[in-house]
């Protein structure tokens, strides 16, 4: 389930040192994207295959750009255009893709645990790019990289995660990583999307004002309507009346608080345009950091890079 050097399936169970190592690695790759020629030969001759069985804009593009900036070939298969739509099982798809000898597989799937299944049946590293409502490790790593980049640390910060906590793989990965790194987590949302069973993850608030009061970071979530059955919400209007992050609500957080959102954002539903486009918003920094995080992960897995972070500063 954790980064053990062979796969990146989730952040649950990962140690502080391991997370810090991944963040430091990502930091060392950030600068490549600022160059005029954004390409290094690190993964030349390697093949990364993306298996995207669920829609994705940012994550897929980010992995592709990351692979290409490292000179790897990137091939992407999507659920709707692959033989899955002809009835092929996941195991058969996996075996066939593995027979083409990729150096790394990146998988997004609507079922929790699908990348773990894949990892057991292919002989190459697997990266979880989001499995159902379970984990989304590279998203949480880029969130932490963004927080650390702006605040200089993660330990001791208070982070409010707001919205559809129940269905959120982004939350699960973040809760594990933030708490391991010493942050305090508050979970904020309506009772149907934030059951009290999740109290072991952090302080529960069913009221947005009390949830964001005094926090350092507000992490907003999209409503996962594709994963919600009926009756989770009365109406979108009512949800946004109580849980949309507006400027007035954000003013209750610390004066220098920052706002994160994994995207795609629904303006006016979970976040107002004023906040999404405002000074506190780190949404586009998150996207930029996503490329660095994925470069680091592909380097460590596909490149089997075992060099120290210091050595890699010189890439």
Q: Cα–Cα distances in Å, from 51 out to 4, 18, 37, 258?
A: 21, 26, 28, 33
Candidates 28, 42, 47, 59; binder of ligand NCD (CB under 6 A) is 59
How many residues at the interface with ligand NCD, by CB under 6 A? 10
CA–CA dist 1, 11 (Å, integer): 8
Specify whether 58 is catalytic: yes
Give the residue among 277, 224, 215 at the shortest CA–CA distance from 246.
277
Which helix (DSSP H) or strand (DSSP E) does residue 249 occupy? helix 247-250
Task: Catalytic residue, from 42, 47, 59, 138: name it.
Answer: 59
Q: Please say whether the beta carbons of 158 and 217 come within 8 A.
A: yes
Looking at the Cβ atoms of 218 and 312, the one nearer to ligand NCD is: 218
Provide the mask over 155-184, with x wherever binding to ligand NCD is found by CB under 6 A and - wherever it is not.
Answer: --------------xx--------------
β 184-188/203-205 pair status: parallel
Which among 237, 289, 235 is positioned nearest to 260, based on CA atoms? Answer: 289
Minimum distance from residue 91 beta carbon to ligand NCD (Å): 24
Minimum CB distance to ligand NCD, residue 307 (Å): 29
Over the window 215 to 254, marking each residue x when it contacts ligand NCD by CB under 6 A and - when it does not, the resulting string is -------x--------------------------------
Check if 59 is active-site: yes
Which residues, 6 or more positions from 248, have their beta carbon under 8 angstroms from its beta carbon? none
Q: Using CA atoms, how far apart are residues 56 and 129, in angstroms rounded to an integer?
A: 10
The whole-angstrom separation of Cα 230 and Cα 72 is 43
Catalytic residue, candidates 30, 58, 206, 227: 58
245 DSSP β-pair partners: 271
By CB under 6 A, residue 10 contacts ligand NCD: no
What backbone torsions phi and psi does residue 48 show, to the nearest 5 degrees?
A: -110, 130
Catalytically annotated residue among 60, 69, 136, 312: 136
Mask for 256-275, x = binds ligand NCD (CB under 6 A): ------xx------------
By CB under 6 A, name the one of 21, 30, 58, 309 that touches ligand NCD. 58
Determine if 130 is a binding residue for ligand NCD (CB under 6 A).
Answer: yes
Q: Is 136 in the site for ligand NCD (CB under 6 A)?
A: yes
Annotated catalytic residue, options 108, 148, 222, 261: 108
- CB nearer to ligand NCD: give 136 or 148: 136
Question: Which position among 25, 139, 240, 272 is part of the footprint of ligand NCD (CB under 6 A)?
Answer: 139
User: For residue 4, what are its two tokens?
Assistant: 């053990």
Pick from 202, 200, 223, 224: nearest CA to 211: 202
- Give buried/exposed letters for 99-133 (b at 16+ CB in 10 A, else e): eeebbbbbbbbeeeebbbbbbeebebbbbbbbbbb
The answer to whether residue 154 forms part of the interface with ligand NCD (CB under 6 A) is no
Active-site positions?
58-59, 86, 108, 136
Contacting residues toward ligand NCD, per CB under 6 A:
58-59, 130, 136, 139, 169-170, 222, 262-263
């Amino acid at each position: 389930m954790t980064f053990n050097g062979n796969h990146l399936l989730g952040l649950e169970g990962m140690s502080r040192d391991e997370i810090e190592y991944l963040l430091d690695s990502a930091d060392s790759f950030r600068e490549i994207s600022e160059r005029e020629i954004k390409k290094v030969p690190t993964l030349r001759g390697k093949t990364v295959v993306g298996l995207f069985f669920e829609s994705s804009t940012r994550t897929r593009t980010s992995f592709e750009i990351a692979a290409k900036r490292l000179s790897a070939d990137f091939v992407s298969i999507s659920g709707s255009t692959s033989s899955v739509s002809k009835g092929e099982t996941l195991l058969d798809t996996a075996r066939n893709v593995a027979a083409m000898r990729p150096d790394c597989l990146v998988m997004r799937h609507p079922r929790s645990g699908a990348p773990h299944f894949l990892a057991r049946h292919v002989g190459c590293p697997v990266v979880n790019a989001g499995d159902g409502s379970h984990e989304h490790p590279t998203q949480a790593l880029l969130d932490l990289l963004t927080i650390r980049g702006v605040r200089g640390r993660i330990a001791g910060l208070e982070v409010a995660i707001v919205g559809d906590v129940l269905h959120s793989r982004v939350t699960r990965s973040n809760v594990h990583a933030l708490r391991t790194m010493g942050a305090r987590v508050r979970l904020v949302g309506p009772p149907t999307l934030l059951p009290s069973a999740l109290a072991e993850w952090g302080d529960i608030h069913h009221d947005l004002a009390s949830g964001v009061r005094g926090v350092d970071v507000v992490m907003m979530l999209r409503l996962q309507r594709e994963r919600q059955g009926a009756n989770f919400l009365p109406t979108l209007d009512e949800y946004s009346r109580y849980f949309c992050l507006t400027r007035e609500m954000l003013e209750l957080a610390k004066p220098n608080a920052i706002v994160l959102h994994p995207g795609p954002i629904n303006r006016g539903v979970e976040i107002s345009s004023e906040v999404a486009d405002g000074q506190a918003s780190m949404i586009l920094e998150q996207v930029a950091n996503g490329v660095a995080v994925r470069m680091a992960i592909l380097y460590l897995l596909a490149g089997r890079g075992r060099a120290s972070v210091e050595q890699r500063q010189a890439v």
